[in-house]
Amino acid sequence: MSDDDEAPQMPLLLTMRQVADLCQVSVGTVREWSYDPDFPVIRRPGHFVRIHARLLDEWLAKRSQQEVPA
């Protein structure tokens, strides 16, 4: 067994609370992000909302590269 097999892995799908904790923002902020057309959110009937972890990383990287208005 390699070291990679022993390392804890991030789940593929995250809850809004998990994303908020990872990004150190409020759940309300994550909820606002979830309405961005590029945000990797999955919505299903019954209030099921999950965020794809790898796509979230890509979304955050893209967002961090955008120029911040002065």
Every domain of the chain and the residues it spans: 10-65
- Cα gap 32→11, rounded to integer Å: 22
pLDDT, averaged in runs of 10, over the chain (70 residues): 62 94 96 94 91 95 78
Q: Which residues contact 2 (CB under 8 A, 6 or more apart)?
A: none
pTM for this model (two decimals): 0.76
- Would residue 45 be called left, alpha or beta, if left means φ above 0 and alpha means ψ between -120 and 50 degrees? beta
**Shortest CA distance to 29 belongs to which of 68, 5, 63, 67?**
63
Residue 50 and residue 42 in contact, taking contact as beta carbons nearer than 8 Å: yes
What is the assigned CATH class of domain 10-65? Answer: mainly alpha
